[in-house]
Structure 1
C-alpha cells in the first residue's frame, strides 16, 4: 500500500510539473506573438473592440509626445492605424479619443488598400465618424487614394447621401476632382443608380454634368448603361442638348443604351424632344443597326416605330474607310479571341469528362475480370461434380464386363462425348482462374487484351459444358424417348449459337468503329494546328466512339 501511495504521489508531481512547463511555454509563445497575429498593437486591439476607456488609458500612459505620436501612427501588417481601425467599424468614441492626440499627418496615413481613415469611414457610411474627422481636420476631405478618388467619390459610389451632402458643403471644387480615368463623382453616382446623390450634386453645380472622362463620356452616358430612368431624366434637366453628345467613338446615349439592351432607357430617350434617332457613330452604325446586330427585338421594334433606320442616312459624308477597316479588324480580333477562349474552356471540360469516362472504362474492365473469375470457378465446380454424378452410378462389384468403380454407361457413345467436353470445360475454366488470380495487369491496353482472351476462353467453356449436358440427355431419356434429347439439343443449339453469333457481330462492329476512330484521330492530329474547332469536334466524335454505354470485347 505504501509503495502504491508513493507511486501515485510521484505521478501527481510529474503531472503538475508538466502542466507548469506547458503553461510557461504557452506564456512565452504569447509573449513572442504579441502584438497580435497581424501586427496589432494594444491600441489597435482596443480600437478594434471599440473600447474607448482602454484606448484613453493606453494613450494617457504615454508621457512623451514623440512616443504618443509614434503610437497613433503605428501601422499593422495591413497598413492600418488605430484611427483607421476605429473609423472602419464606426466607433465614434474611440475616434474622438485618438483624434485628441493626432495631427493631420497621422490621420491621413493610408493603409495598404490606399484608403485613409476618412475614406474608409465614408465607404462604410459612418456619418458621425466622417463628421468628427472632418471637423478635426477639414483637409482630409481633399485627400485621394491610388485611383485619385476622393472620399466624396467613395461615398457617392456607395450611395451614402448624408455623407455626400456633408462633403459637398465643403465647396464645389471637391465635386470636380476627377479620378485617373477622368470620371467625376457624378459619373460614379449616375452609373451606380443613386438618384438622391445625383440630385444633390447637380443642385450644387449643374455644369458638372457636361464633364467628360478619358473616353469622352459624360455622366449621362454612364446613366444610360444602368436601369434608372429617373437618373437619366434628372441629368437632362440642366441641359437637354446633352442627349446628342458623342463620346470618343461617336456613340450617343441612344447608341449606348441600345448596345447595353436597356429598353426602358431607350423609351425614355425617345420621348425627349430633339433627339437624333438616326445619329451614326465612328463605325457608321445607327442605334437601329446596333439593335439588329445584337438581335434585340424589343428595342428594334421601338426604334422602327419612331422612324429609325438601320443604315446611315447621310451618304454625302460617309464614314472614314480606314476607321471602318480598323473597326472591322478589331471586331474580328475580338471574335477570334472569344472563340479561342471558348474552345479552351470546352477542351478543359472535354478533358475532365474524358478522365471520368476512363475511370468508368477501367471499372468496367475490372468488373469483367472479376465476373470471369467467378464464372470460371462456377463452371469448374459444375464440370468436376458432373463426372461423379453420372446417371446409373458406378460399379460396386467387379464382374466380367465391368471393373470396380466403372460407370455403367461408360461404353455409351454419348457418355464418351460428355466426358471429353466436360473435361475441356473443366480445364479451360481452371486455366482462366489460374491466369486471372496470378497476373496483375496495370496498363489499360494489356488489361483489355487479357479480358478479350479470357472472354473467348469462357465462351468455349460455356459451349463445351452445354455440349456435355446435351450428350447426357441422350442417356437419361432412354432409347424410346430420344425425341426429347433432340428437342433439348435444338433448344440449346439455338440459344447458344444465337448468343455467340450476336456477340461476334458486336465484336466485329466494335472493331470497325475502332478502326474509324483511329482514322479520325489521324485526321485530327494532322489538322489540329489549323483549326481549334475541328479539334474539339474530333474529341467529341472520339468520345461517342470510344466510350460507349455498352460494347463487346
Structure 2
C-alpha cells in the first residue's frame, strides 16, 4: 500500500492525470485506505496546492471525503488552494463538501477564507463568500477577526471590496461593524494603518458606525490622534469628520482613566448598543486632579523635547563656532621669527579676531546648554518633581535657555556679516537685530506676566480668598429676595 500511495503522490505532483487514474483503477480502495490510515498529506492536498484542477475533480469524484482531510498543520485542501489563489479548485472543493471545507480551522485558528484574505486572493474569497454567503464572511479566527479584519490589516483593499460587495442588506453593516477580541472594527484597523482608499470605501457603506469604541475606549478618530503623525492624517481626519466621527471624550464625557468608570462592553451582536456607565460616578475632586496630572504630564513631555533640541544646537555651536577653527598652527613666520598674533590648529577663529564677541557668544551658549541639560536631568532623575510649582521652575529655566540661545544666534549672525565700514547692510542688520531682540523680550515679558498671574491666582484659590468672594457675591444676590419675602409677610 505504501508503494502504491507513493506512486499516486508522484503522479499527482507531476500533474499526470492518466497515471493517477491507472493507479486508482488498479486499486479502487486506495483513497479510502489513505483516509482511514490518516495520512497527513493526501493526494488531494498535493493537487490543490499545485493547481491541478483535473486531478482535483478526479480525486473528489472517487473520494469526496478527501476534501475535509487535514495535514500536519491542520490545513485542508481548501486552505492550500485558497492560499495559492486557485479559484477553480476552490469552487470544486466547495461543491464537494461546502460546510466542512469552509469551516475547517488550521493550527493558527484560521479558516480557508482567512488564508485567502491575508494573501489577497480575490477570486478565492469571492467564491467562498458566494458559496457560503454572509456566514462565510462572518467566520472568525481565535482572535475574533473576520476576513475583513485580516484583509485590512494586510493592506488587501480589493479583498475588502470583494467581501463587502458579496454581502448585502443588513449583513453588510453588521460585518463592517464587527469587532475583534480587542474591540476593533475594520475602520479602527484601517485608520491605524493609514489606508486612505480603504477608509473612504468603508465610510461610503450605509450603516457603518464611525464612533464604535474599542476595549481601550478609543474611537477611530481617537486612533488617528494617538498614532504617529504624517501627511495623510489631515485627509483621513476630514473624511472621518464629514461622516460625523467623534472622539470618545465627546461621546462618553468622563475621564476614562478614572477607576470609578466602567468602560462600555460592546458586543458583536449589537455593535451600536448604547454605552453602559457605572452607577458610581467620579467625585468632583478626582476629575480636576486627574486633569491637572494630565496637563503636567504633557508639559513634561514638551519640556523634554524642547530641552533636548536646545542642548543639541548649543553643543553643535560650541564645537563649530562662527567662522570655524584654524586648520594649522601659526606661531613663526617664514624666517622662523615669532609672530605677533600666533594661533594653533583647532582653536576658534572668532576667539582670535573678536575676543569680546566670542566671550559673549561662549557665555550665552554655555548658559543655554547647561540650562537645557538641567531640565533634562530633572525630568529623568526620578525625583518627585511632578507638582505644579516645580513645573513652573522648569519653565523659567527653559525661558532662560531659549533667551540665551536667541542671543547666541544674533551674536553669530553679526559676526558672519561684513564689517560695518565695508558694507551698507550693517546698519539695516543692526536695526533688525535690535527690533527682533526687543520683540523677543516683550514676548517673554508677556508670557512671564501671564504665568505670574496664574501663580497668584493659584495661591489665592489655595488660601480661599476667591472662594470667599464667590460666597459673598451669592449672599448679596440672595439679599433682595429675602427682603421681598419679608415685605410680603
- TM-score using structure 2 length: 0.47
| Structure with the larger helix share | 1
Q: Which has the larger radius of gyration?
A: 1
